[in-house]
Structure 1
């Protein structure tokens, strides 16, 4: 089974080609490694952290940058079961991050401190999905 941690060049190019001046929602689906996989010599290598613990470190170290660019979490949940979809697609956590616009997302990922923090995300995840959506109206109907 193919695993996805970072965007492919083609997917990232499509993301960059979309409008940058409107709010965006980013759906994140996360499957953690049993044991975080830090590069040799990294300060957290050898600590025996779980993937979930490494992702918590990612949140702690990237959170100030995420908030500075105007990001917020609009929904968060813990996976329970697949209702429609392949049985092999199991996730530990999911959340929707909101950005005021795509430029805010780009500002975040270009930040030098964020680039240091993202090693925690990479060490944490066995698989993930990141999908961009245009925010829509909530309500009682589909």
Structure 2
């Protein structure tokens, strides 16, 4: 994978914040793990040799209550099988859709002090990712 995407750029975060903050949103998460987690040298887990998957599990455990506290939930989780259309070299270790009651709730979560402490696990775990904001349209019965 040539393109590493771990955190939003300033421009991407500003574009997110400039959208409607009062409507419900869904965030499509596509995550590829590092083989071995890369914690900062001064972190207590830096010398434990955790896999990226193990570090990401730490992130999930530590952020689950924060997600729930802001009214968020996981709508869907799936396991990667193959890419039918798209770059052949992209594969994803974790795929899920998280729903938030508003964009304000998402921003509240990512700026919460407990989240700021927990995100070190995500940063240690992730080789590359995609985080795509969507808005639910309808029941999805048709493409039109």
Report what 1:135 is aligned to. 136
Shift of 1:50: 0.5
Report what 1:59 is aligned to. 60
TM-score norm. by structure 1 comes to 0.97
Equivalent position SS for 1:114: helix
Equivalent residue runs for 1:49-128 within 5 Å: 49-128=50-129
Shift of 1:139: 4.2
- Structure 2, unmatched stretches of 5+, are none
TM-score norm. by structure 2 comes to 0.96
Report what 1:20 is aligned to. 21
Shift of 1:2: 1.7
Equivalent position SS for 2:86: coil
What CA RMSD, in Å, does the superposition of the two structures yield over aligned residues? 0.8
C-alpha distance in 2 between matches for 1:35 and 1:78: 20
Equivalent residue runs for 1:9-48 within 5 Å: 9-48=10-49
Equivalent position SS for 1:73: strand
1:21-72 superposed Cα distances (whole Å, 9 cap, x missing partner): 0000000000000000000010111111100010000000111111100010
C-alpha distance in 1 between matches for 2:11 and 2:32: 23
C-alpha distance in 1 between matches for 2:139 and 2:121: 33
- Structure 1, unmatched stretches of 5+, are none
1:108-132 superposed Cα distances (whole Å, 9 cap, x missing partner): 1111110000000000000000000
